[in-house]
Amino acid sequence: MPGAPTGFVGKLSAERPLLTSGVTALALAVLGVLGARHHPGPLTGELILRFVTAAGLVVCAPMALAALTPLRPLLRALFLGSAFLLSALLLGAVFGAFGSRFSLPAPQAPIGAAVGLFAFFAALAPLTRSTMRLGGLGPIAAATGVVGGIGYLALENLLSSPFSGAASAIALTAGVCVGAGVGADYARHFARGLTAQASAASAGHTAIAPAAFSLLAATAWMVVVTFKANYGVIGWRDLIAAGIEVLLASTSALVFSAAALALVRPSEQTAVEENRRRQRFAEGWRPFRRRLPATTATAAAAIAGVLVVIALFEAGLSEAVSFSVFLILILIASGLAFVSVRTSLLITLLLFISTVFTGYVYAVLAMPAPPMADRFAALTLSAIAFSQLTVSWRNAGDIWRNARDIAQNAMCDGLRRFAIAFGAGGAATVAAAHAFSWEAGIATAAYFAIVAGIGLFLAPFLMVALSAQFQRY
Protein backbone atom coordinates (compact mmCIF):
# COMPACT_ATOMS: atom_id res chain seq x y z
CA MET A 1 0.00 0.00 0.00
CA PRO A 2 2.60 2.54 -1.07
CA GLY A 3 1.79 6.20 -0.83
CA ALA A 4 -0.50 6.04 2.21
CA PRO A 5 -0.97 9.63 3.47
CA THR A 6 0.95 10.54 6.59
CA GLY A 7 0.36 14.24 7.17
CA PHE A 8 2.34 16.59 9.35
CA VAL A 9 1.06 15.41 12.74
CA GLY A 10 1.34 11.70 11.99
CA LYS A 11 4.76 12.06 10.41
CA LEU A 12 6.08 14.18 13.28
CA SER A 13 4.78 11.75 15.92
CA ALA A 14 6.27 8.74 14.12
CA GLU A 15 9.61 10.24 13.10
CA ARG A 16 10.26 12.19 16.33
CA PRO A 17 8.47 10.01 18.89
CA LEU A 18 10.54 10.92 21.95
CA LEU A 19 10.44 14.63 21.19
CA THR A 20 6.71 14.85 20.55
CA SER A 21 5.71 12.64 23.47
CA GLY A 22 8.11 14.43 25.81
CA VAL A 23 6.85 17.89 24.88
CA THR A 24 3.23 16.75 25.17
CA ALA A 25 3.80 15.16 28.59
CA LEU A 26 5.62 18.25 29.84
CA ALA A 27 2.85 20.59 28.67
CA LEU A 28 0.14 18.49 30.32
CA ALA A 29 2.12 18.20 33.56
CA VAL A 30 2.69 21.96 33.69
CA LEU A 31 -0.99 22.65 33.06
CA GLY A 32 -2.03 20.22 35.78
CA VAL A 33 0.43 21.65 38.30
CA LEU A 34 -0.60 25.22 37.54
CA GLY A 35 -4.22 24.29 38.04
CA ALA A 36 -3.48 22.53 41.33
CA ARG A 37 -1.51 25.54 42.61
CA HIS A 38 -4.14 28.02 41.49
CA HIS A 39 -6.35 27.34 44.52
CA PRO A 40 -4.88 27.83 47.98
CA GLY A 41 -6.64 24.73 49.33
CA PRO A 42 -6.10 21.10 48.35
CA LEU A 43 -9.37 20.87 46.40
CA THR A 44 -7.87 20.75 42.89
CA GLY A 45 -5.10 18.33 43.83
CA GLU A 46 -7.58 15.99 45.49
CA LEU A 47 -9.88 16.16 42.47
CA ILE A 48 -7.03 15.33 40.09
CA LEU A 49 -5.93 12.45 42.30
CA ARG A 50 -9.49 11.16 42.54
CA PHE A 51 -9.93 11.34 38.77
CA VAL A 52 -6.61 9.62 38.05
CA THR A 53 -7.50 6.84 40.47
CA ALA A 54 -11.00 6.42 39.05
CA ALA A 55 -9.86 6.52 35.41
CA GLY A 56 -7.04 4.10 36.09
CA LEU A 57 -9.26 1.66 37.98
CA VAL A 58 -12.41 1.88 35.87
CA VAL A 59 -11.03 2.43 32.34
CA CYS A 60 -7.29 1.81 31.96
CA ALA A 61 -6.80 -1.32 34.10
CA PRO A 62 -9.76 -3.34 32.72
CA MET A 63 -8.77 -2.55 29.14
CA ALA A 64 -5.15 -3.50 29.78
CA LEU A 65 -6.15 -6.80 31.41
CA ALA A 66 -8.63 -7.61 28.64
CA ALA A 67 -5.91 -6.98 26.05
CA LEU A 68 -3.92 -9.81 27.66
CA THR A 69 -6.70 -12.34 27.05
CA PRO A 70 -5.25 -15.35 25.16
CA LEU A 71 -6.91 -16.40 21.93
CA ARG A 72 -6.28 -20.13 22.31
CA PRO A 73 -9.46 -21.72 23.71
CA LEU A 74 -7.87 -23.58 26.65
CA LEU A 75 -5.66 -20.70 27.80
CA ARG A 76 -8.52 -18.28 27.29
CA ALA A 77 -10.84 -20.41 29.43
CA LEU A 78 -8.26 -20.62 32.24
CA PHE A 79 -7.54 -16.90 32.08
CA LEU A 80 -11.19 -15.87 32.07
CA GLY A 81 -12.11 -18.39 34.76
CA SER A 82 -9.43 -17.06 37.10
CA ALA A 83 -10.28 -13.45 36.31
CA PHE A 84 -14.01 -13.91 36.84
CA LEU A 85 -13.43 -15.77 40.10
CA LEU A 86 -11.32 -12.91 41.43
CA SER A 87 -13.89 -10.42 40.13
CA ALA A 88 -16.71 -12.27 41.89
CA LEU A 89 -14.76 -12.24 45.16
CA LEU A 90 -14.05 -8.54 44.75
CA LEU A 91 -17.67 -7.70 44.02
CA GLY A 92 -18.83 -9.82 46.95
CA ALA A 93 -16.47 -7.99 49.29
CA VAL A 94 -17.48 -4.56 47.98
CA PHE A 95 -21.23 -5.21 48.07
CA GLY A 96 -21.10 -6.94 51.49
CA ALA A 97 -22.06 -10.43 50.36
CA PHE A 98 -19.56 -12.03 52.77
CA GLY A 99 -20.60 -10.13 55.86
CA SER A 100 -19.10 -7.12 57.58
CA ARG A 101 -15.95 -9.01 58.57
CA PHE A 102 -14.84 -9.48 54.96
CA SER A 103 -16.36 -6.32 53.51
CA LEU A 104 -14.21 -3.94 51.50
CA PRO A 105 -14.86 -0.21 52.00
CA ALA A 106 -14.74 0.83 48.35
CA PRO A 107 -17.16 2.73 46.07
CA GLN A 108 -19.55 0.24 44.55
CA ALA A 109 -20.31 1.90 41.20
CA PRO A 110 -16.68 2.27 40.02
CA ILE A 111 -15.78 -1.28 41.09
CA GLY A 112 -18.85 -2.67 39.36
CA ALA A 113 -18.09 -0.66 36.22
CA ALA A 114 -14.48 -1.88 36.19
CA VAL A 115 -15.50 -5.52 36.46
CA GLY A 116 -18.21 -5.05 33.86
CA LEU A 117 -15.81 -3.37 31.43
CA PHE A 118 -13.29 -6.19 31.79
CA ALA A 119 -15.99 -8.82 31.24
CA PHE A 120 -17.27 -6.93 28.20
CA PHE A 121 -13.89 -6.70 26.49
CA ALA A 122 -12.83 -10.20 27.53
CA ALA A 123 -15.95 -11.60 25.88
CA LEU A 124 -15.11 -9.63 22.73
CA ALA A 125 -11.41 -10.55 22.77
CA PRO A 126 -11.38 -12.04 19.24
CA LEU A 127 -12.74 -8.73 17.96
CA THR A 128 -10.94 -6.12 20.07
CA ARG A 129 -7.84 -7.76 21.55
CA SER A 130 -5.30 -6.80 18.89
CA THR A 131 -6.64 -3.26 18.65
CA MET A 132 -6.43 -2.73 22.41
CA ARG A 133 -2.92 -4.17 22.52
CA LEU A 134 -1.65 -1.88 19.78
CA GLY A 135 -3.52 1.12 21.19
CA GLY A 136 -2.86 0.16 24.80
CA LEU A 137 -1.22 3.47 25.61
CA GLY A 138 -4.28 5.38 24.43
CA PRO A 139 -6.39 5.18 27.64
CA ILE A 140 -3.44 6.22 29.82
CA ALA A 141 -2.56 9.08 27.47
CA ALA A 142 -6.20 10.17 27.31
CA ALA A 143 -6.45 10.23 31.11
CA THR A 144 -3.25 12.29 31.21
CA GLY A 145 -4.76 14.72 28.74
CA VAL A 146 -7.89 15.05 30.86
CA VAL A 147 -5.69 15.84 33.88
CA GLY A 148 -4.28 18.74 31.89
CA GLY A 149 -7.83 19.74 31.03
CA ILE A 150 -8.82 19.68 34.70
CA GLY A 151 -5.86 21.96 35.35
CA TYR A 152 -7.26 24.39 32.79
CA LEU A 153 -10.70 24.17 34.43
CA ALA A 154 -9.07 25.08 37.73
CA LEU A 155 -7.28 28.06 36.17
CA GLU A 156 -10.61 29.29 34.83
CA ASN A 157 -12.40 28.59 38.15
CA LEU A 158 -14.76 26.15 36.41
CA LEU A 159 -14.27 23.05 38.56
CA SER A 160 -17.63 23.69 40.21
CA SER A 161 -19.38 24.07 36.86
CA PRO A 162 -22.30 21.66 36.40
CA PHE A 163 -20.75 20.58 33.09
CA SER A 164 -17.23 19.74 34.30
CA GLY A 165 -17.91 16.07 35.03
CA ALA A 166 -19.64 15.41 31.71
CA ALA A 167 -16.94 17.31 29.81
CA SER A 168 -14.25 15.15 31.41
CA ALA A 169 -16.16 11.96 30.52
CA ILE A 170 -16.52 13.08 26.90
CA ALA A 171 -12.84 14.03 26.72
CA LEU A 172 -11.70 10.70 28.16
CA THR A 173 -13.93 8.77 25.76
CA ALA A 174 -12.70 10.79 22.79
CA GLY A 175 -9.08 10.15 23.75
CA VAL A 176 -9.62 6.41 24.16
CA CYS A 177 -11.32 6.27 20.74
CA VAL A 178 -8.42 8.12 19.12
CA GLY A 179 -5.88 5.74 20.67
CA ALA A 180 -7.89 2.72 19.55
CA GLY A 181 -8.20 4.19 16.07
CA VAL A 182 -4.44 4.60 15.83
CA GLY A 183 -3.97 0.96 16.85
CA ALA A 184 -6.60 -0.28 14.39
CA ASP A 185 -5.22 1.68 11.45
CA TYR A 186 -1.66 0.69 12.34
CA ALA A 187 -2.57 -3.00 12.13
CA ARG A 188 -4.41 -2.46 8.85
CA HIS A 189 -1.50 -0.61 7.22
CA PHE A 190 1.13 -3.00 8.55
CA ALA A 191 -0.84 -5.99 7.27
CA ARG A 192 -0.83 -4.40 3.81
CA GLY A 193 2.95 -4.11 3.68
CA LEU A 194 3.91 -0.74 5.15
CA THR A 195 6.84 -0.43 7.52
CA ALA A 196 6.24 0.09 11.22
CA GLN A 197 7.13 3.78 11.09
CA ALA A 198 5.07 4.44 7.97
CA SER A 199 2.13 2.55 9.48
CA ALA A 200 2.33 4.62 12.66
CA ALA A 201 2.56 7.88 10.71
CA SER A 202 -0.40 7.01 8.51
CA ALA A 203 -2.45 5.83 11.51
CA GLY A 204 -1.74 9.07 13.34
CA HIS A 205 -2.82 11.07 10.31
CA THR A 206 -6.05 9.06 9.91
CA ALA A 207 -6.96 9.63 13.56
CA ILE A 208 -7.15 13.40 13.10
CA ALA A 209 -10.64 13.31 11.55
CA PRO A 210 -12.32 11.37 14.42
CA ALA A 211 -10.49 13.59 16.92
CA ALA A 212 -11.75 16.70 15.14
CA PHE A 213 -15.29 15.36 15.13
CA SER A 214 -15.12 14.65 18.88
CA LEU A 215 -14.00 18.23 19.45
CA LEU A 216 -16.79 19.65 17.30
CA ALA A 217 -19.39 17.35 18.89
CA ALA A 218 -18.36 18.52 22.38
CA THR A 219 -18.62 22.10 21.15
CA ALA A 220 -22.12 21.43 19.81
CA TRP A 221 -23.12 19.97 23.17
CA MET A 222 -21.87 23.02 25.05
CA VAL A 223 -23.58 25.42 22.65
CA VAL A 224 -26.95 23.76 23.22
CA VAL A 225 -26.80 23.20 26.98
CA THR A 226 -25.27 26.55 27.94
CA PHE A 227 -27.70 28.41 25.68
CA LYS A 228 -30.55 26.67 27.49
CA ALA A 229 -29.05 27.06 30.97
CA ASN A 230 -28.20 30.75 30.53
CA TYR A 231 -31.57 31.66 29.00
CA GLY A 232 -30.38 32.44 25.50
CA VAL A 233 -26.70 33.20 26.07
CA ILE A 234 -23.92 30.78 25.13
CA GLY A 235 -21.46 30.12 27.95
CA TRP A 236 -18.25 30.78 26.08
CA ARG A 237 -15.96 30.02 29.02
CA ASP A 238 -17.56 26.61 29.54
CA LEU A 239 -17.52 25.96 25.80
CA ILE A 240 -13.83 26.81 25.41
CA ALA A 241 -12.89 24.81 28.50
CA ALA A 242 -14.74 21.71 27.27
CA GLY A 243 -13.16 22.06 23.83
CA ILE A 244 -9.67 22.38 25.31
CA GLU A 245 -10.24 19.33 27.49
CA VAL A 246 -11.28 17.20 24.50
CA LEU A 247 -8.43 18.61 22.42
CA LEU A 248 -5.83 17.78 25.07
CA ALA A 249 -7.11 14.23 25.60
CA SER A 250 -7.34 13.49 21.86
CA THR A 251 -3.96 15.03 21.05
CA SER A 252 -2.27 13.21 23.90
CA ALA A 253 -3.72 9.86 22.84
CA LEU A 254 -2.79 10.42 19.19
CA VAL A 255 0.79 11.51 19.88
CA PHE A 256 1.60 8.89 22.49
CA SER A 257 -0.02 6.02 20.57
CA ALA A 258 1.65 6.87 17.26
CA ALA A 259 5.01 7.47 18.96
CA ALA A 260 4.88 4.18 20.86
CA LEU A 261 3.99 2.20 17.74
CA ALA A 262 6.80 3.87 15.80
CA LEU A 263 9.32 2.81 18.45
CA VAL A 264 8.36 -0.87 18.62
CA ARG A 265 9.52 -3.46 16.11
CA PRO A 266 6.48 -5.61 15.40
CA SER A 267 6.73 -9.15 14.14
CA GLU A 268 4.76 -10.61 11.29
CA GLN A 269 2.37 -11.96 13.91
CA THR A 270 0.73 -8.53 13.95
CA ALA A 271 -0.20 -8.86 10.29
CA VAL A 272 -1.22 -12.50 10.78
CA GLU A 273 -3.58 -11.59 13.65
CA GLU A 274 -5.13 -8.77 11.63
CA ASN A 275 -5.75 -11.03 8.63
CA ARG A 276 -7.20 -13.75 10.87
CA ARG A 277 -9.49 -11.25 12.55
CA ARG A 278 -10.84 -10.11 9.20
CA GLN A 279 -11.31 -13.71 8.10
CA ARG A 280 -13.17 -14.65 11.30
CA PHE A 281 -15.42 -11.63 10.95
CA ALA A 282 -16.22 -12.45 7.31
CA GLU A 283 -17.17 -16.00 8.28
CA GLY A 284 -19.36 -14.81 11.14
CA TRP A 285 -20.97 -12.08 9.05
CA ARG A 286 -21.81 -14.35 6.09
CA PRO A 287 -25.27 -15.49 7.35
CA PHE A 288 -26.28 -11.91 8.04
CA ARG A 289 -24.97 -10.80 4.65
CA ARG A 290 -27.10 -13.39 2.86
CA ARG A 291 -30.25 -12.12 4.55
CA LEU A 292 -29.57 -8.44 3.93
CA PRO A 293 -29.85 -7.49 0.26
CA ALA A 294 -30.36 -3.85 -0.59
CA THR A 295 -34.15 -4.25 -0.94
CA THR A 296 -34.46 -5.81 2.52
CA ALA A 297 -32.28 -3.12 4.08
CA THR A 298 -34.31 -0.38 2.41
CA ALA A 299 -37.54 -1.95 3.65
CA ALA A 300 -36.11 -2.22 7.18
CA ALA A 301 -35.09 1.45 7.06
CA ALA A 302 -38.61 2.39 5.93
CA ILE A 303 -40.13 0.36 8.77
CA ALA A 304 -37.80 2.11 11.21
CA GLY A 305 -39.05 5.43 9.87
CA VAL A 306 -42.66 4.42 10.46
CA LEU A 307 -41.83 3.28 13.99
CA VAL A 308 -40.11 6.60 14.65
CA VAL A 309 -43.30 8.46 13.73
CA ILE A 310 -45.35 6.19 16.00
CA ALA A 311 -42.89 6.64 18.87
CA LEU A 312 -43.02 10.41 18.44
CA PHE A 313 -46.82 10.39 18.61
CA GLU A 314 -46.87 8.04 21.60
CA ALA A 315 -44.06 9.46 23.75
CA GLY A 316 -43.26 12.82 22.20
CA LEU A 317 -39.79 14.35 22.17
CA SER A 318 -38.57 16.41 25.08
CA GLU A 319 -36.52 19.52 24.32
CA ALA A 320 -37.45 19.21 20.64
CA VAL A 321 -35.99 22.58 19.62
CA SER A 322 -32.70 22.02 21.43
CA PHE A 323 -32.48 18.51 20.00
CA SER A 324 -33.09 19.80 16.48
CA VAL A 325 -30.34 22.39 16.87
CA PHE A 326 -28.02 19.72 18.25
CA LEU A 327 -28.70 17.44 15.28
CA ILE A 328 -27.99 20.26 12.84
CA LEU A 329 -24.71 21.03 14.61
CA ILE A 330 -23.75 17.33 14.56
CA LEU A 331 -24.59 17.20 10.84
CA ILE A 332 -22.32 20.18 10.19
CA ALA A 333 -19.58 18.87 12.50
CA SER A 334 -19.44 15.46 10.85
CA GLY A 335 -19.46 17.01 7.40
CA LEU A 336 -16.53 19.26 8.29
CA ALA A 337 -14.52 16.55 10.07
CA PHE A 338 -15.03 13.69 7.62
CA VAL A 339 -15.59 15.74 4.43
CA SER A 340 -18.42 13.42 3.45
CA VAL A 341 -22.11 14.18 3.03
CA ARG A 342 -23.21 10.56 3.36
CA THR A 343 -21.12 10.05 6.51
CA SER A 344 -22.67 13.08 8.19
CA LEU A 345 -26.12 11.93 7.07
CA LEU A 346 -25.61 8.44 8.55
CA ILE A 347 -24.39 9.78 11.91
CA THR A 348 -27.32 12.16 12.14
CA LEU A 349 -29.88 9.51 11.18
CA LEU A 350 -28.50 7.02 13.70
CA LEU A 351 -28.54 9.64 16.44
CA PHE A 352 -32.06 10.84 15.63
CA ILE A 353 -33.69 7.41 15.37
CA SER A 354 -31.89 6.02 18.42
CA THR A 355 -32.83 9.02 20.54
CA VAL A 356 -36.50 8.77 19.60
CA PHE A 357 -36.60 5.04 20.38
CA THR A 358 -34.76 5.61 23.67
CA GLY A 359 -37.29 8.23 24.69
CA TYR A 360 -40.06 5.76 23.92
CA VAL A 361 -38.35 3.08 26.05
CA TYR A 362 -38.07 5.47 28.98
CA ALA A 363 -41.72 6.50 28.59
CA VAL A 364 -43.03 2.93 28.39
CA LEU A 365 -41.00 1.77 31.39
CA ALA A 366 -41.79 4.97 33.31
CA MET A 367 -38.09 5.54 33.91
CA PRO A 368 -36.86 9.04 34.79
CA ALA A 369 -34.54 10.35 32.10
CA PRO A 370 -31.38 12.25 33.07
CA PRO A 371 -31.51 16.06 33.19
CA MET A 372 -31.31 17.92 29.92
CA ALA A 373 -27.58 18.76 30.04
CA ASP A 374 -26.63 15.21 31.02
CA ARG A 375 -28.95 13.69 28.43
CA PHE A 376 -27.27 15.72 25.71
CA ALA A 377 -23.88 14.68 27.08
CA ALA A 378 -24.98 11.07 26.54
CA LEU A 379 -26.01 11.97 23.00
CA THR A 380 -22.57 13.48 22.42
CA LEU A 381 -20.96 10.24 23.60
CA SER A 382 -23.29 8.34 21.27
CA ALA A 383 -22.33 10.54 18.33
CA ILE A 384 -18.64 9.84 19.03
CA ALA A 385 -19.37 6.11 19.16
CA PHE A 386 -21.39 6.23 15.92
CA SER A 387 -18.55 8.08 14.21
CA GLN A 388 -16.33 5.03 14.73
CA LEU A 389 -18.73 3.05 12.53
CA THR A 390 -19.48 5.70 9.95
CA VAL A 391 -15.88 6.67 9.20
CA SER A 392 -15.21 3.01 8.39
CA TRP A 393 -18.30 3.04 6.17
CA ARG A 394 -16.94 6.09 4.35
CA ASN A 395 -13.56 4.44 3.80
CA ALA A 396 -15.14 1.18 2.63
CA GLY A 397 -17.24 3.06 0.10
CA ASP A 398 -14.07 4.37 -1.54
CA ILE A 399 -12.92 0.80 -2.30
CA TRP A 400 -16.03 -1.38 -2.68
CA ARG A 401 -19.06 -0.82 -4.89
CA ASN A 402 -21.57 -3.49 -3.86
CA ALA A 403 -23.76 -2.25 -0.99
CA ARG A 404 -23.35 -5.45 1.03
CA ASP A 405 -19.58 -5.43 0.50
CA ILE A 406 -19.43 -1.87 1.77
CA ALA A 407 -21.46 -2.70 4.89
CA GLN A 408 -19.45 -5.86 5.60
CA ASN A 409 -16.08 -4.15 5.37
CA ALA A 410 -17.34 -1.15 7.29
CA MET A 411 -18.56 -3.34 10.14
CA CYS A 412 -15.37 -5.43 10.02
CA ASP A 413 -13.27 -2.34 10.68
CA GLY A 414 -15.75 -0.22 12.59
CA LEU A 415 -17.33 -2.72 14.97
CA ARG A 416 -14.17 -3.11 17.06
CA ARG A 417 -13.81 0.68 17.23
CA PHE A 418 -17.44 1.04 18.24
CA ALA A 419 -17.11 -1.67 20.90
CA ILE A 420 -14.18 0.18 22.46
CA ALA A 421 -16.05 3.49 22.31
CA PHE A 422 -19.16 1.87 23.80
CA GLY A 423 -17.34 0.26 26.73
CA ALA A 424 -14.99 3.15 27.38
CA GLY A 425 -17.79 5.72 27.13
CA GLY A 426 -19.87 4.08 29.83
CA ALA A 427 -16.88 3.44 32.09
CA ALA A 428 -15.50 6.96 31.61
CA THR A 429 -18.88 8.41 32.61
CA VAL A 430 -18.90 6.34 35.80
CA ALA A 431 -15.31 7.38 36.57
CA ALA A 432 -16.12 11.05 36.04
CA ALA A 433 -19.25 10.71 38.16
CA HIS A 434 -17.15 9.39 41.05
CA ALA A 435 -14.37 11.96 40.68
CA PHE A 436 -16.60 15.02 40.28
CA SER A 437 -19.44 13.82 42.57
CA TRP A 438 -21.68 14.01 39.51
CA GLU A 439 -25.08 12.83 40.73
CA ALA A 440 -26.57 12.04 37.32
CA GLY A 441 -23.44 10.31 36.02
CA ILE A 442 -24.74 6.75 36.37
CA ALA A 443 -28.07 7.66 34.76
CA THR A 444 -26.17 9.36 31.93
CA ALA A 445 -24.10 6.22 31.34
CA ALA A 446 -27.27 4.11 31.18
CA TYR A 447 -28.90 6.53 28.74
CA PHE A 448 -25.79 6.46 26.55
CA ALA A 449 -25.74 2.65 26.57
CA ILE A 450 -29.35 2.45 25.37
CA VAL A 451 -28.93 5.05 22.62
CA ALA A 452 -25.68 3.53 21.36
CA GLY A 453 -27.06 -0.02 21.52
CA ILE A 454 -30.09 0.88 19.42
CA GLY A 455 -27.86 2.67 16.93
CA LEU A 456 -25.58 -0.35 16.59
CA PHE A 457 -28.58 -2.54 15.75
CA LEU A 458 -29.77 -0.11 13.08
CA ALA A 459 -26.36 0.66 11.57
CA PRO A 460 -26.01 -2.33 9.17
CA PHE A 461 -29.48 -1.76 7.70
CA LEU A 462 -28.87 1.94 7.14
CA MET A 463 -25.40 1.28 5.73
CA VAL A 464 -26.70 -1.11 3.09
CA ALA A 465 -29.74 1.04 2.28
CA LEU A 466 -27.78 4.29 1.96
CA SER A 467 -24.97 2.60 0.02
CA ALA A 468 -27.50 1.32 -2.50
CA GLN A 469 -29.15 4.74 -2.80
CA PHE A 470 -25.90 6.67 -3.22
CA GLN A 471 -24.81 4.32 -6.00
CA ARG A 472 -27.55 5.77 -8.16
CA TYR A 473 -26.04 9.27 -8.16
Instruction: Give residue-wise pLDDT tens across range 246-260.
Output: 999 999 999 999 999
Q: Let me know: does 271 contact 30? Beta carbons within 8 Å.
A: no
pTM of the full predicted structure? 0.92
At 104 the pLDDT is 55
Distances (CA, A) of 242 to 150, 250, 324, 438: 10, 12, 21, 16
In a domain, residue 42? The reply is yes
At 287 the pLDDT is 84
In a domain, residue 318? The reply is yes
In a domain, residue 457? The reply is yes
In a domain, residue 2? The reply is no
In a domain, residue 1? The reply is no
Residue ranges of the chain whose pLDDT lies below 50: 1, 472-473
**pLDDT (tens digit per residue) in 400-440:** 667 788 888 888 888 999 999 999 999 999 999 999 989 99
In a domain, residue 366? The reply is yes
Containing domain of residue 418, as a range? 7-470
In a domain, residue 87? The reply is yes
Q: Let me know: does 176 contact 420? Beta carbons within 8 Å.
A: yes
Number of structural domains (the chain) is 1
